[in-house]
Structure 1
C-alpha cells in the first residue's frame, strides 16, 4: 500500500527543517516489547539512543547496523 503524496512545501519552509543522517552503531531488543528495538546512532558530533518500532518491519533488525 502506497502512502498518499503530500503537498509540496516552499523552499523557505524546507530551509527551516533540521535533517540529519547518522550511522546506526547497534540494535538491541527492548525487554517485554514485541515491536520496539533500541538503536545507538552516531551523528558525528553526538550520539543518540532511539527507540523504534522495527521488529514487525524487518525479519532481522540487525541488518540495519552500519
Structure 2
C-alpha cells in the first residue's frame, strides 16, 4: 500500500471539536434494510448508543467484535440510515485505504467513556 497524501492542515481548535470516546460494543445486530450496515449497541459508561457501521461485508462474522472496546466519534448529529438512527461513528482503520478495516482500540481496558486526544 502506498500511503495517501496528507490532508490540508487544520487548526488545533478544529481538532478539539471532535469528541472521540472509548465504548464497549455490547451487541452487533442486523439492519434488515441494508446489505452493508450493522447496528452496534455501545456502552459509554453513563449511557448506551446505537451506532450504525458499514461492517457487514467487511467481516466474515461481524458479531466477533461484541465485547470489544473501540473508538467512536460521539458528537456527530444523529443520522437516519436504512430506517435506523445512528448516534455516532465507529472510528476504524484501513477502510479509506481499501484495506480490510480493523478496530481502533485501546491497548488495555479503560473505563467506557474515556476521551481520546
What is the alpha-carbon root mean square deviation over aligned residues? 1.9
The aligned residue for residue 23 of structure 2 is: 22
Shift of 1:3: 4.1
Unaligned runs of 5+ residues in structure 1 are none
Unaligned runs of 5+ residues in structure 2 are 68-117
How many residue pairs match? The answer is 66
- TM-score by structure 2 length? 0.48
- TM-score by structure 1 length? 0.76
**Distance between the aligned counterparts of 2:4 and 2:57, measured in 1?**
18
Q: Which structure's CA Rg is the greater one?
A: 1
The aligned residue for residue 85 of structure 2 is: none
Secondary structure of the corresponding residue to residue 20 of structure 1: strand
Secondary structure of the corresponding residue to residue 33 of structure 2: coil
**Distance between the aligned counterparts of 1:5 and 1:58, measured in 2?**
28
**Distance between the aligned counterparts of 1:36 and 1:51, measured in 2?**
6
Shift of 1:5: 3.1
Shift of 1:44: 0.6
